[in-house]
Structure 1
Amino acid sequence: MSSPSRDPWLDNAKMGLVTLVVVGHLLALLPADGPGGRVYDFVYLWHMPAFVFLSGYLSRGFRYSPTRLWQLVTTLLVPYLLFEGALAWFRVNVGGERLWDLWLDPHFPLWYLLAMVAWRLVTPLLRPLWGGVLVAVGISVAGGFLAGDWTRWLDAPRVLGFLPFFVLGLKTTPEALEWLRGRFPALLGVATFAVLGLLASSFEAWSSRPYLYYRPYALLDDPTSTAVLTRLLMLLAGAAGALAWLTLVSRIGGWFSRMGGATLVVYLFHGFAVKELEYLGFVAWAQDRPWLGLFGAVVIGVGVALLLAAPPVRRVLERVVDPFDVAHRRMREAVRLTGVVHEQETADRAAARSVPAGR
């Protein structure tokens, strides 16, 4: 049974977004000029911004305290070190790949853990700051001017690029979010996705894939002024899509919303499935079957996400994702048996693990 303190609306939103993360990474294996490429462009215009927005909203209570700072280490930095090494081992020993700059140049799913550490560290500074969203937009635009080989270290340009969505989440109050639950906002959400669909259908005419990842301007083929304007358009489209997503998400609890607490498990383990599918020849197979490849990527992606979030699987994998939490659970159980329950510690732990993930 779901905890009464959890909002099934947000859990549905998180689980839906992490499912799109998995699907998106499989769509990346399809030809960019085929139907899979158009769907990829549409999804990446808004799904990562939505994820970052929710991460910011769920991080509003972060503060500088020994408990919260230690949780950054145990729930984000430790998993990053473990899974970065594990995925590297998998790529070298299973896929026969060669890798460089391990832990400095994050794998495709794992940059988000480092981003969450950086974003949460600035939360107490940016949340009360008047005009914090505009400041974050300025930081995002300025981050595009970073240049040099070092910029790939810890994916710094992307961390700065997505910052406005996180700060927008920090600034959003529960009362403001409540407005998105109405019927009229849902109609606006449908209209917004229609516009984003049109933008995705002509994506190559006004943008390119590196803009979706907030790459430095020096790596783009456009003049700096065009790159800055395109980034601003990306920020606007991403924010609109993030809010539109929330207007359309179901508010009803059930088996899907209960999986919303497993987003970190799905996020950390799905990279192995994506790489294995690549090693099995999915790229070559889909090359001549564009529509079948698109169907396969969607079905497999949804299946992987649901499998990893299924309660029996989740309970096992959580021991790997956060071994420190296993000890905490045992301690809390021992305390509960004596009649004393540390509810605040449980709430803090749940908030620290609310990481809706991405590319």
Structure 2
Amino acid sequence: MRILGIAAVVAGHVGAWSGPVVRETVYTWHVPLFFFLSGYLWSEGRSVIEEMTKRAKTLLLPYIVWLVPVGLWWLSQTDVVRGADLRKLMLGGSNIGGTLAAFWFVTALFFAVVALRAIQRFPDWLQWTLAVIALLVTVRAPELVARVPLAAGVGLACIVFVLAGREFKRHRLRIRRPLMTAFVILGGCATLILTGWSTYLDLKYARLGTPVITVLVAIGICASLLLIAEHAIPLLGPRVNKELSTLASGGFMVVLTHAVVLVELTKLGLAPWLVFAGALAGPWLLALVILRTGLAPVLLGVPVRKEPEPARELVGSARM
């Protein structure tokens, strides 16, 4: 699911594809998917301090480390480096774009999960009420919410997607025909989009599309894709599953660095599909190399992945 979401993010940033088709096709779900998954994989009982510590290591540390080289590259693209440009880098969120287009997502996710952890002791109905209030404020004043430094305002608006993922996990086993359910929901969401009832959302700028409807469509698509993945991925076998897991572990670097590759490849006048492939494959291949080095926790936000040792002891014990 993370791999799919990252590929969709990169596709959405390819300049030649930035028309209404791509916006309507991927923008509605590609970023909400990551918030939804955070809720689906939610660990109960963790304290706010524990959550902040964990997310600081997995989100903020790579964010800060990559912000320096990518930010310097971004500043080098301007004719004159102004103090305002440096200020934008520090403010983050919607203040920075171009090659830093996806950086806002990292801090927004951090604030969303930490805020939810802070209110987890409240009853579910109160958590949902607070999330809906954050949504209503965003609908009424999107520009104000988008201007909050480090996308903290957008992060609070996205709590609803995290809650939706958590709630979906709680009721997942009640869905007896997951594949059919997924396609029915996808069909309904597609109908709402094609008829214009639901317009795309752009979370970076706190634009939530058609009030209520687009948020529900985004949640519906995320839930449907998850049901399809749960059915399809196990059929590929344990070896493919292991490789997909490894690939997903390096995905964070792709999110933070792909825009640099996009810009440079676009300058060469390459076809859009080649730009997309290069921006996706280049950072990901490098991330897979880093994954097996001591730099993995700093650059990727994950532990160093080591090759499994030969199971000699297991073989010996089996013979005994």
Determine the structure 1 residue equivalent to 2:224: 244
Equivalent position SS for 1:61: coil
Whether 1:156 and 2:144 are equivalent positions in the alignment is no
Given that 2:182 and 2:227 are in contact with CA atoms closer than 8 Å, whether structure 1 keeps it comes out as yes
| Cα 1:315/1:188, change in 2 over 3 Å | same
The separation in 2 between residues aligned to 1:168 and 1:115, in whole angstroms, is: 17
| Cα 1:267/1:191, change in 2 over 3 Å | same
After superposition, the C-alpha distances for 1:44-85 in whole angstroms (9 at most, x for unaligned) are: 212222221111222333622655442233222222222222
Aligned-partner residue type, residue 244 of structure 1? S
Given that 2:266 and 2:275 are in contact with CA atoms closer than 8 Å, whether structure 1 keeps it comes out as no
Give the number of the structure with larger relative contact order, counting CA–CA contacts within 8 Å between residues 6 or more apart.
Answer: 1
Given that 2:151 and 2:204 are in contact with CA atoms closer than 8 Å, whether structure 1 keeps it comes out as no
Determine the structure 1 residue equivalent to 2:102: 109
| Cα 1:17/1:179, change in 2 over 3 Å | farther
The separation in 2 between residues aligned to 1:77 and 1:189, in whole angstroms, is: 34
Find the partner of 2:34 among 51, 62, 68: 51
Cα root mean square deviation, aligned: 3.6
The separation in 1 between residues aligned to 2:245 and 2:80, in whole angstroms, is: 33
The separation in 1 between residues aligned to 2:185 and 2:167, in whole angstroms, is: 22
Given that 1:105 and 1:153 are in contact with CA atoms closer than 8 Å, whether structure 2 keeps it comes out as yes
Q: CA deviation at 1:315?
A: 1.9
| Cα 1:127/1:17, change in 2 over 3 Å | farther
Q: How many residues align?
A: 287
Determine the structure 2 residue equivalent to 1:276: 261
In structure 2, list runs of 5 or more residues that go unmatched.
94-99, 307-320
* Identity between Structure 1 and Structure 2 (%): 17
TM-score by length of 2: 0.72
Find the partner of 2:281 among 303, 306, 316: 303
The separation in 2 between residues aligned to 1:323 and 1:216, in whole angstroms, is: 26
The separation in 2 between residues aligned to 1:197 and 1:309, in whole angstroms, is: 34
Determine the structure 2 residue equivalent to 1:121: 114
The separation in 1 between residues aligned to 2:77 and 2:240, in whole angstroms, is: 34
Q: CA deviation at 1:196?
A: 3.5
Aligned-partner residue type, residue 320 of structure 1? V
Aligned-partner residue type, residue 133 of structure 2? G
| Cα 1:19/1:77, change in 2 over 3 Å | same
| Cα 1:14/1:206, change in 2 over 3 Å | closer
The separation in 2 between residues aligned to 1:230 and 1:255, in whole angstroms, is: 39
Whether 1:141 and 2:136 are equivalent positions in the alignment is yes
Determine the structure 2 residue equivalent to 1:189: 182
Aligned-partner residue type, residue 129 of structure 1? P
TM-score by length of 1: 0.66
> Is 144-153 or 97-106 further displaced after alignment?
144-153
4+ residue segments displaced more than 6 Å: 94-97
The separation in 1 between residues aligned to 2:261 and 2:192, in whole angstroms, is: 32
Determine the structure 1 residue equivalent to 2:202: 212
The separation in 2 between residues aligned to 1:103 and 1:300, in whole angstroms, is: 29
Q: CA deviation at 1:199?
A: 4.4
Alignment of 1:1-359 (within 5 A): 13-26=1-14, 29-33=15-19, 37-61=20-44, 63-64=46-47, 67-93=50-76, 99-100=85-86, 101-106=88-93, 107-124=100-117, 125-126=119-120, 128-131=122-125, 132-146=127-141, 147-148=143-144, 151-173=147-169, 176-179=171-174, 184-201=177-194, 207=199, 211-213=201-203, 215=205, 230-249=210-229, 250-252=232-234, 253-260=238-245, 263=248, 265-281=250-266, 285=269, 293=272, 295-296=273-274, 299-300=277-278, 302-304=280-282, 307-308=285-286, 310=288, 312-316=289-293, 318-321=296-299
In structure 1, list runs of 5 or more residues that go unmatched.
1-12, 218-226, 287-291, 331-359
The separation in 1 between residues aligned to 2:21 and 2:105, in whole angstroms, is: 24
Aligned-partner residue type, residue 171 of structure 1? E
Given that 2:111 and 2:152 are in contact with CA atoms closer than 8 Å, whether structure 1 keeps it comes out as no
